[in-house]
Chain A
């Protein structure tokens, strides 16, 4: 039997029971729509997590000043800076370390003209931008002499610049941080929200030496709150972490059983854990959606079985006038695949609609990939074939005499 003939026959049979065909298709429409939407939404979630991770900086370890114990009192982690710039210098000498940036944060009031803004001021070094993979939008970074001389220079985050300068280019202007004048030498590119939802662009960078000696006073001279460390590759994170631990214990005179006064955190690991959580979640969503595809397939099988019974006489007649069992098999199989394929196409539209709606409502960036469309089409053709095969085979095995006698 010619293939176009099969298609035409199936189309006609589907049109005869229009309502039934549409309802059968609906199972596939919902199944495919759900799969497409879930995959897209999962993708969108993963992309935003990935964006956050890459904005944090890659292959990064962070050493935080630990709890100081004073007269039996234990203070909170980071409450007292126990790390020194010399610790940072020592860490830089470790093998596998690509860059080290100290962090000495504080809060300060910034004034420019009539505007003022309270923000975090972070004392650090030129390596900070490299570790965080952060580019300058305009201006320049700190120079070696800025660091040595503890120059009063600052680099602004986008949020700070917006609040103080509006549309004016801040580079070259002078601002006042805690009443001292600082020259703005650079403006950072916007980075957006961090993992915890903080605005990463609400920041002012100054040389760590300036922060220590001039800005935050000499309360804890030469100390830093934390040290950021970038390794040469992700595989070096664990060995560097161990070496750093040993080095700092030695430098801080901490023996085996004592609690260290610092804390090393692997942020990349944390971020990867978050990413894999998202991945598992989108996988689960896809799996649940696929179940509805299978349910849709069972619906097709059900209706095809009814259809075979209803058309037993027709099958008998077709066999009498010369249809081989293979022709009958092909006819019913084509019908099942056609129903599932058309349902799949409608489901694609539904899925696209859903994704567009979710993107609009929840400001997500769900993207329908070509791969997910391909998967949906392949799966629905497979579902049509799989669930159509049993009814079609049943029809093809009918005995013409009995089929013709069927009422």
Chain B
């Protein structure tokens, strides 16, 4: 069997506060193979964000181990983790996090700046990714000139530009209306299907989670459910 893309062994995260230790995450054992589409759910404070930060190498576990593509993340320096994020991971945030003074191409090309790729190639690759998300007509626009859905698509293009193998999305549809969020989810589904891109997506909405193929549910810092998404209930049942 292949080396799993994500492999955690008794992974946990503890924060030291004045009032004592806070166990944000305890004993997480998760394997993710390349090409999976996973939804992460759970109430706020359940450890989802901590889990995502650890997966994204923005933080290191305080207990257990985390292997990304077979590499031990825990013992890496800041610099090594920065390079790992740059090469393997794409982030999509709830608040888009685009730089307002850069136009779309430049925003998308940002990760390539840190990969040391020359300007011209950067712009070319960034433009390709903008075409992928259907924004070929907006390459020179500044983010504030775009709608929320368009901005999020720019953010997705940015996450794809380094040809990441892992896309981490933290409530990517949280700020969007249901029609726009359907569009965004459709892009995720397509990327997962066509490119075998591994996607881990945090969401509060069962409607969004339904599109994933595996569901991990957190509660009080522990994984309480990990399995295939249950067959979808009828779409958008009319509310009473």
Complex interface bits, B166-199 against A, C-beta within 8 A gives 1, otherwise 0: 0000000000000000000000000000000000
- Select the stretch in B93-101, B124-132, B208-216 that faces chain A: B93-101
- Can you show 22 pairs from A to B with CB atoms below 8 A apart? A1-B116, A2-B113, A314-B99, A318-B110, A318-B114, A320-B56, A320-B58, A320-B85, A321-B86, A322-B83, A322-B87, A322-B115, A322-B162, A324-B79, A324-B82, A324-B83, A325-B78, A325-B79, A325-B82, A404-B58, A404-B93, A404-B97
* A323 contacts B82, C-beta separation under 8 Å: yes
Closest chain A residue to B155, Cβ basis: A317
**A319 in the interface, Cβ–Cβ < 8 Å?**
yes
A147 to chain B, nearest CB (A): 86
**B111 in the interface, Cβ–Cβ < 8 Å?**
yes
**B59 in the interface, Cβ–Cβ < 8 Å?**
yes
B51 to chain A, nearest CB (A): 12
5 pairs of A and B residues whose beta carbons are closest in the complex = A322-B86, A322-B114, A321-B111, A324-B82, A317-B97
Q: How far is the CA of A324 from the CA of B1 in the complex (A)?
A: 34
Q: How far is the CA of A323 from the CA of B111 in the complex (A)?
A: 8
Chain A residues numbered 311-336 whose CB sits less than 8 Å from any CB in chain B: 313-314, 316-327
**B158 in the interface, Cβ–Cβ < 8 Å?**
yes
Q: Which of A16, A316, A322 contacts B85 (CB 8 A)?
A: A322
Interface residues of B (CB under 8 A from A): 53, 56, 58-59, 78-79, 82-83, 85-87, 91, 93, 97, 99, 101-102, 110-111, 113-116, 118-119, 158, 162
* A1 contacts B113, C-beta separation under 8 Å: yes
In the complex, what residues of B have CB within 8 A of residue A236's CB? none
Q: How far is the CA of A391 from the CA of B72 in the complex (A)?
A: 33
* B114 contacts A321, C-beta separation under 8 Å: yes
* B114 contacts A313, C-beta separation under 8 Å: no
Interface residue count on the A side (C-beta < 8 Å)? 23
Q: How far is the CA of A401 from the CA of B110 in the complex (A)?
A: 18
- With contact pairs A320-B91, A325-B78 given, residues A401 and B158 touching in the complex (Cβ less than 8 Å): no
A-B contact count, CB below 8 Å?
61
In the complex, what residues of A have CB within 8 A of residue B114's CB? 1, 318, 321-324, 327
Q: How far is the CA of A205 from the CA of B27 in the complex (A)?
A: 109
In the complex, what residues of A have CB within 8 A of residue B118's CB? 2
Q: How far is the CA of A218 from the CA of B87 in the complex (A)?
A: 107
Q: How far is the CA of A400 from the CA of B82 in the complex (A)?
A: 10
- With contact pairs A321-B110, A321-B114 given, residues A12 and B101 touching in the complex (Cβ less than 8 Å): yes
B172 to chain A, nearest CB (A): 14
Indicate the member of A314, A319, A321 with the most B CB atoms within 10 Å.
A321
**A5 in the interface, Cβ–Cβ < 8 Å?**
yes
Q: Which of B85, B116, B119 contacts A321 (CB 8 A)?
A: B85
A181 to chain B, nearest CB (A): 90
Closest chain A residue to B161, Cβ basis: A321
* B91 contacts A321, C-beta separation under 8 Å: yes
In the complex, what residues of B have CB within 8 A of residue A317's CB? 97, 99, 110
Indicate the member of A5, A314, A322 with the most B CB atoms within 10 Å.
A322
B19 to chain A, nearest CB (A): 19
Indicate the member of A5, A320, A401 with the most B CB atoms within 10 Å.
A320
A401 to chain B, nearest CB (A): 5
A297 to chain B, nearest CB (A): 26
In the complex, what residues of A have CB within 8 A of residue B56's CB? 320
Closest chain A residue to B99, Cβ basis: A314
Q: How far is the CA of A316 from the CA of B113 in the complex (A)?
A: 15
In the complex, what residues of A have CB within 8 A of residue B59's CB? 401
A5 to chain B, nearest CB (A): 6
In the complex, what residues of A have CB within 8 A of residue B101's CB? 12-13, 16
Closest chain A residue to B101, Cβ basis: A16
* Additional 6 contacts, C-beta under 8 A, given A321-B86, A321-B110: A12-B101, A317-B99, A317-B110, A321-B111, A322-B114, A322-B115
Q: How far is the CA of A233 from the CA of B79 in the complex (A)?
A: 67
- With contact pairs A1-B116, A313-B97, A401-B58 given, residues A324 and B78 touching in the complex (Cβ less than 8 Å): yes
Q: How far is the CA of A12 from the CA of B86 in the complex (A)?
A: 23
In the complex, what residues of A have CB within 8 A of residue B97's CB? 313, 316-317, 404
B68 to chain A, nearest CB (A): 14
Closest chain A residue to B82, Cβ basis: A324
- With contact pairs A12-B101, A313-B97, A404-B97 given, residues A322 and B82 touching in the complex (Cβ less than 8 Å): yes
In the complex, what residues of B have CB within 8 A of residue A400's CB? 58
B28 to chain A, nearest CB (A): 17
Q: How far is the CA of A318 from the CA of B111 in the complex (A)?
A: 8
Q: How far is the CA of A237 from the CA of B78 in the complex (A)?
A: 71
A4 to chain B, nearest CB (A): 8
In the complex, what residues of B have CB within 8 A of residue A314's CB? 99
B55 to chain A, nearest CB (A): 12
* A2 contacts B116, C-beta separation under 8 Å: yes
In the complex, what residues of B have CB within 8 A of residue A318's CB? 110, 114
Q: How far is the CA of A322 from the CA of B116 in the complex (A)?
A: 11
In the complex, what residues of A have CB within 8 A of residue B91's CB? 320-321
Q: How far is the CA of A238 from the CA of B6 in the complex (A)?
A: 90
In the complex, what residues of A have CB within 8 A of residue B116's CB? 1-2
B17 to chain A, nearest CB (A): 15
Q: How far is the CA of A401 from the CA of B101 in the complex (A)?
A: 22
In the complex, what residues of A have CB within 8 A of residue B86's CB? 321-322
Q: How far is the CA of A313 from the CA of B97 in the complex (A)?
A: 8
Closest chain B residue to A314, Cβ basis: B99
A146 to chain B, nearest CB (A): 85
B38 to chain A, nearest CB (A): 20
Indicate the member of B82, B99, B119 with the most A CB atoms within 10 Å.
B82
* B99 contacts A401, C-beta separation under 8 Å: no
In the complex, what residues of B have CB within 8 A of residue A313's CB? 97
In the complex, what residues of B have CB within 8 A of residue A319's CB? 58, 82
In the complex, what residues of B have CB within 8 A of residue A326's CB? 79
B133 to chain A, nearest CB (A): 17
